[in-house]
Amino acid sequence: MGFLLAALLLASTAYARDIKCAPGLQIFVARGTNEPPGPGASGLLAEAVVDKIPGSAFEAIDYPASDEDPVYFDSVRNGTDAVRQSLIDYSGACPDGKISLFGYSQGAQVTANALSGTTIAWSPYPESLKNLDSLDARITKNIVAVALFGDPTLSPNAKYRKGTADVNRQGIFHRQDPSGLDALGDRLVSYCDTGDVFCDAGSDPNIPAHLHYLENYSTEILDFIVRQYEGGAPDSSPSATPGDAQSGAMRRARVPGW
């Protein structure tokens, strides 16, 4: 047993040595369902942040982002674990490193799950999920900004909601207890627009609403992330008004899937 523990510790230390600590902002990006491997459309936002904040870098969360093979909730479980492990590993290797997370659609769900913990209560596939507590504050303390788009687990009246959707509506897999996310305070924004059937369940469907967050809100999201990185005031989260001017990269953003 002692030999096994020592081997595991050595392996963990060796892995941690491979992590490069970003002198600027380290960004973890979780793509939406059925986007090809990589950062997905949110990668354009990450690129824009890297251009704005010297020494920054981004990494795509490695998970299936699928709805059939594997089934959605298996993919969610894998993504949740991957986000949590990425945060744990980076925080261990870079204890003073500043972190940001972006998540789109299923990517928003796995990011929120990783931060707040999750319960199997709302899953039609209980065997696919496990109960998780909120991520330890020693890990989350260096997270300066989290931006979610079209989160299926969005809770009604959550403090961190942005966008045009009715705040009394909720995501199709809404989170019963958002306290783990509330703990992030003004470091978290979650965008949901009217008609996005994944975060605005029960509204008249408007599929384009789920696809255009990065186009509609690019400038204010960028400003929010930069201010948070620089230690902006608590009320520095962006407004919910769409249609800001966009960078060329952000105008190209499209989300193929959900």
Q: What is the pLDDT of residue 2?
A: 41
In-domain check, residue 14: no
Distance of CA 182 to the CA centre of its chain: 14
Per the domain annotation, does 257 fall within a domain? no
Give exposure, 167-187, as e/b (b: 16+ Cβ within 10 Å): eebbbebbbeebebbeebebb
Predicted local distance difference test score (pLDDT) of residue 180:
87
- Phi/psi for 58 (5° steps) reads -135, 155
Residue 241 within a domain: yes
Please report, for residues 108, 214, 231, 243, the alpha-carbon distance to residue 186 in angstroms, rounded to integers and kept in the order given.
Answer: 17, 20, 11, 22
CA gap 218, 188 in Å, rounded: 16
Q: What is the pLDDT of residue 4?
A: 43
**Contact status, residue 161 vs residue 148, Cβ threshold 8 Å:** no
pLDDT at site 88: 96
* Token pair for 64: 């299936």
Say whether pLDDT at 66 is over 90. Answer: yes
Q: What is the CATH number of the domain that holds 184?
A: 3.40.50.1820
Domain assignment present for residue 258? The answer is no
Token representation of residue 37: 């491997």
| Count of the separate structural domains present in the chain | 1
pLDDT in tens, 147-187: 999 999 999 999 999 999 999 999 999 888 888 899 999 99
- Whether 1 is in a domain gets the answer no
Its domain, for residue 228, covers 21-251
Does residue 131 lie within any of the structural domains?
A: yes
pLDDT tens profile 193-236: 999 999 999 888 888 899 999 999 999 999 999 999 999 433 33
**pLDDT digit string, tens, across residues 117-131:** 876 544 555 555 567
Kindly calculate the radius of gyration of the chain based on its CA atoms and give it in whole angstroms: 17
Residue 226 covered by a domain = yes
Residue 16 lies in a domain: no
